[in-house]
Amino acid sequence: MNLSTLFFVFAFLPVSLILYLVCPRVCKNALLVLISFVFYAWGSPVYLLLLLLVTVFNYCVGLDIGNCAELGQRGTKFLLVIGVLFNLLLLGFYKYAAFAIETLNAILPFTLNAPSAALPLGISFFTFQNLSYLSDVYHRRAPAQKNPLDFCLYVSFFPKMISGPIVEYAQFEPQLKSHPVTLYKVSEAVPMLVLGLAKKVLLADNLGAAFQSISALSSGSLSGGAAWLGAICYSLQLYFDFSGYSDMAIGMAKLFGFDFDANFDHPYLSASLTEFWRRWHISLGRWFRDYVYIPLGGSRVSTPKCIRNLLIVWILTGLWHGASWTFVAWGLYHGILLLLEKYPLKGILAKTPSPIRHILTLLAVIVGWVLFFSPDFSSAIFYLGRMFGTGSRAFWDSTAKYYFAANWKLLVLGILGCGPWIRTLYRHLVFSRRSPGLVLSALLLIGIFLLCVPYMTNATYQSFLYAQF
């Protein structure tokens, strides 16, 4: 179910919230589990059984790990390995089996048949959450969950089900017993929902339509200027698409009494790639840090091992985003650039003025997104070649002028939306503690929401990019 559809905004969410508010406190978690299952089954009914299977398995393994740890018995590590392997093999089958077989077919003298199973919605997100649960129980960062309904809620809670953020069990577990809905949480939730929706339907969807138009140009029609416009549109689309969904997820969680950490912190304002990745998809970066990078030794090891650890994390990050060699290359690209920032270029960058570092960071990120959206290396090389001047067409030709004239207002709004200014204005009005400020803030949110409605009604481009991951 798409979070930015009229049905979800005007029917599913309000009905769910009303039922939750009138439900007795002892039944609230059970009701949220039921709502979450309906939400998941709505978009992918076939895979609801898969979700239930995964949930039951991890619940049982986590319970066994916790019981063995409490009794001082051996075998907890074996149980952890079994649990991790099960989750990774399941993820591997649905997400990477076809990719692996296609790779083998390219080098083997015979052909293997690739499985054609559709990718279950949110499988990367709920797999990583299950892995975090098993690890947290094993390392005693959190107790094993004995209530099966509460564990189901952790795995399937619908606001974070298909779009994240990836919530670690140690953060979620203390909120299971008590997550009251307060006026303060509602006051935080509403602007997050409205502004997140606006990011998605006003900016991301329209930027996506512009990118699709440019990327559909024939090789002979794509000039350097048009290619740069397309890459910039995609860069902005991806940010508003995912950060908008994340804001909506965090806002919805607050409506049901749960608090999640922010998943984005204005990453395009960064002055280095290191800073960028601390601000982009924060929950994923934290997951890889806590469950891969640090267990490998982190930065507390020798320089060669630190380089190894960082490259492993970034290759895995690329693979997490998609089963393609272009995603692997994208991850390796960022891993190498981060190593250059960390070691040989550290002194030079420290002396470089911040505006220049900011521009260099944006260029590096935009170039990386070309690898991200390209279906194969030949497409990526061609597109990058156009961006950097290959081809017989003039850089700023009539095609580039046309697309710029058609989308410059959208680009300006997108660039302005990358900063904290709208949210800052809202908070300034709210916390002014003056009636005019409160009225203006309410009118601002109402106006933005009403502007979103016709776009939700008439939208022709509403795909959620991260649903494929």
Domain ranges of the chain: 6-179
What burial class does residue 58 get, using C-beta atoms within 10 Å of its C-beta: 0-12 exposed, 13-18 middle, 19+ buried? buried
CA distance 436 to 86: 57
Q: Which pLDDT score is estimated for 379?
A: 94
- C-alpha distance from residue 139 to each of 77, 135, 169, 324, 419 (Å): 10, 6, 12, 33, 39
Amino acid identity of 220?
G
Nearest-10 crossing angle of helices 205-215, 398-417: 160
Q: Which pLDDT score is estimated for 309?
A: 95
Supply the DSSP symbol for 217: S
| Residue 456 CB partners (closer than 8 Å, separation 6+) | 4, 5, 6, 9, 201
CA distance 239 to 264: 9
Amino acid identity of 414?
G
CA angle 205, 211, 214 (to 5 degrees): 145
CA distance 444 to 439: 9
Yes or no: say if 369 and 235 are a contact pair by the CB < 8 Å rule: yes
For each successive 10 residues of the chain (469 residues), what is the average pLDDT? 86 94 92 94 84 95 87 80 95 89 84 78 90 92 92 94 86 89 89 93 94 90 94 97 94 94 94 96 94 92 94 95 93 96 91 94 97 94 92 86 95 91 71 65 87 80 57
Q: Which pLDDT score is estimated for 103?
A: 85
Q: 4-18: b or e for each residue (b if 16 or more CB lie within 10 Å)?
A: bbeebbeebbeebee
Q: Catalytic: 139?
A: no
Nearest to 195 by CA among 441, 435, 8: 441
How many CA atoms within 13 Å lie on the side-chain side of 414?
27
CA distance 419 to 224: 27
Among residues 179, 281, 321, 334, which one is catalytic? Answer: 321
| Residue 269 CB partners (closer than 8 Å, separation 6+) | 279, 358, 418, 419
CA distance 427 to 450: 20
